[in-house]
Structures are given as structure tokens and as C-alpha cells.
Amino acid sequence: KQFEAVAALLERQIEEVRKDRGVVGAELVAIQKENDSLRQERSALLQRTKELEVEHQSSQREKSLIMQEKDQLLQERSDMRSRVRELERENSFALTTILNSSAVGTANKSTASSRGFSVSPTKSPSAPGTSLGAQGTTPQPVRPGTWMQATTEEGASLAEELKQLRRGMMHLMSVQQQPHPTSPFGAGAPVHRMWTRDEEDGGRGKDGIRATETWLNGDDRRERDVSGTLISNFTVQEGERGKLIMTDGNQVSAGRKLKLADFSNDSEALRHGLSEVLRRYGVLTQPLRMEANQAGRFCALVEMQTAEQAALAIQGFDGASYNGEVVRAEAF
């Protein structure tokens, strides 16, 4: 009986061992499956790592190309800013030359009763020159500022002078170097603002005059097409005889603008008149406009510092004569 009991116990233990072995075998199979899954995942990760390395190398090459392009753009921007400064100097020099080119000579002094001036022009270089200023007086140079108009024709001499600036390049129309309320960089940001037009085809686009507004603030540059549109208070429009006129309603205060008109049909008289304004009052910053009317008679629109100075200038010029023809001076 004891033997039978021991045998039965051993059989039960053997059965339990068999069951445990079956459980261990199932666990082993599960572990093997998990190992296979991990191997597959590792292989996929290795493949993805290789792909990422290839992408990284490609990104590095692209980054290098972008940096090269950036360096090139920075250099182009530097060249462009240098060109803008060069054009600004040329524009200022050309304006000063135009205004002062004929202003040296001998004056015809006017009296208080004449309320103006009377001169007789001479065409001979060897003959004594005639100026509207005092004898020996050299007009003050015009301070660099906004040249409000570029024209295709202001008389043969003036047109030839300006043609040298226009040939093969964008012509500088106007420049401001101060904060501006409509600046895209903010109202208080110091900006360099200019307008240009393409002179190769006369600046003619589908809207008439084609012009571009450019804002420069440090290294940042923004542009927009302003053909035939209102720029802040600057109106871009085509004037008489193909001139491009830009006027600013906020440029001057009421009563300070002065029109010197009907200077015969000779632009030299207009230059003399502007030189005389400079000599007498020393307050002209730049002509707001220089133009010729339908009859080819020249006039200049200028700005005085005060309304009183404008009134005195009108009193001094209106009714004066040039080469026997009356010169008009009036507020506008």
C-alpha cells in the first residue's frame, strides 16, 4: 500500500512537471516571437537611420546652397545701396548744377520802386554776363533734398544735361531720409524712400507712367508698383509735354508756396530767377516743380520758409521784366 501511494504521488508530480514544461515552452515560443519582432524593428530602425543620414547630408548641401545665395543677395543689396547713394549724389549735384550753371555775372541792381529786376541776356561767352544776383555774388548751393520732378524736356540744354543721368538706368525721382507716417516699417522708423521710373521706354506702362516706390530701412528693402496711383499724399501723374510730376500736399504749408512764371521761352531765365530767390532769401530747399506751359514759357514752383517771405518774394518779383517781357510771381 505504501508503494502504491508513493507511485501515485510520483505520477502526480510528473504530470505537474509536464504541465510546467508546457507553460515554459509556450513562454519560450512567445519570447522567440518577441525577439523576432524586436529584430524586425531594429532592422527598420537601422534602415530609417540610414535614410535620415542621407536626408541630413542633403539638408546640409541645401543649407550650404542657401547660405551661398544669402551671401550673394547680401552683396547685391550692398551694391544696390551703394548705387542708391551714388544716384543720390548725382541727383543732388545735377540739380545744383542746373540751378547755378548760369548764375555768375554782373547784376542789374533794382530799386525799391521797380519792385523787381530787369536783365538783358547775352549769348556770347566773351561778352559780359548778366545775372539776377548782386555783382560778384555766387548763389548758395541747393541743399540735398527731394527733387519732385524729372522731365523729358525743359529746353534743349536742360534736357541734354538730364539725359546723361537717365541713359541706361533707373532714374532717381525723389528721396526722403526721415521717419514717415506711412512707412511699412512703422511711423517712427527712419527710412530712405525713393521713386523711380524706367527711362528705357519712357516709363510708359498700361497705367500711363510706370513708377516704383522703394522703402529702405537699414538692410531691409520693400517695393511696390505705384503707377498712376496716390502715394501717401504724393500723386504720380503725367504732366505737360511728357513730364512726370510728383506733388506732396503736406510738403509745404499754405501761403509758403511761390510760383515764378512766364520767363519767356528760355530756361536760362528760370535758372536766373531761382538763383535770385536763393541770393535774396537764402531759403529755397528745392523746386517743387519746374515746367513749361503749352506755349513753351517756363515757370518754377518754389517753397519759402514762411508766408511772410513768400509775400516779400512776390512783391519783389511780380511785374519785373526779363528781356523786355513781364515776369509774374504769385502764391498758389
What is the predicted pLDDT for the residue at 40?
A: 92
Mark whether 259 and 139 lie in a shared domain: yes
Mark whether 232 and 267 lie in a shared domain: no
Torsion (CA) 55, 61, 62, 65 in degrees, nearest 10? 180
Mark whether 170 and 44 lie in a shared domain: no
Mark whether 118 and 166 lie in a shared domain: no
Q: How many domains does the chain have?
A: 3
Residue 163's H or E segment, with its range, is helix 156-166
Mark whether 76 and 113 lie in a shared domain: no
Q: How far apart are CA 332 and CA 259, in angstroms?
A: 7
Taking residues 70-98, report their average pLDDT.
Answer: 70
Taking residues 117-135, report their average pLDDT.
Answer: 29
Looking at 243, 277, 306, the residue that finishes a domain is: 243
Taking residues 270-289, report their average pLDDT.
Answer: 60
Looking at 69, 100, 131, the residue that finishes a domain is: 100
Q: The CATH number of the domain where 119 resides is what?
A: 3.30.70.330
Label the pairing between strands 118-119 and 321-322. parallel
Cell of 294: 503749352
Mark whether 134 and 255 lie in a shared domain: yes
Q: How confident is the model at residue 90 (pLDDT cuts 50, 70, 90)?
A: low
Maximum CA pair distance of the chain? 162
Mark whether 86 and 33 lie in a shared domain: yes
263's CB contacts (< 8 A; 6+ apart) are 269, 270, 273, 297, 298, 299, 322, 327
Residue 244's H or E segment, with its range, is strand 244-248
What is the predicted pLDDT for the residue at 45?
A: 92
What is the predicted pLDDT for the residue at 229?
A: 43
pLDDT in tens, 105-119: 223 323 222 223 332
Q: How far apart are CA 310 and CA 148, in angstroms?
A: 20
DSSP state of 92: H
Containing domain of residue 222, as a range?
147-243
Mark whether 60 and 201 lie in a shared domain: no
pLDDT in tens, 30-72: 899 999 999 999 999 999 999 999 888 888 888 888 888 888 8
Taking residues 6-13, report their average pLDDT.
Answer: 84
Tell which wins on pLDDT, 33 or 177.
33
What is the predicted pLDDT for the residue at 332?
A: 58
Mark whether 27 and 67 lie in a shared domain: yes
Mark whether 277 and 220 lie in a shared domain: no
- C-alpha 58: how far from its chain's center? 38
What is the predicted pLDDT for the residue at 43?
A: 92
Q: Which of 28-37, 56-65, 215-224, 252-261 has the lowest mean pLDDT?
A: 252-261
CA angle 10, 16, 19 (to 5 degrees): 145
Mark whether 121 and 82 lie in a shared domain: no
Mark whether 322 and 279 lie in a shared domain: yes
Looking at 243, 271, 301, the residue that finishes a domain is: 243
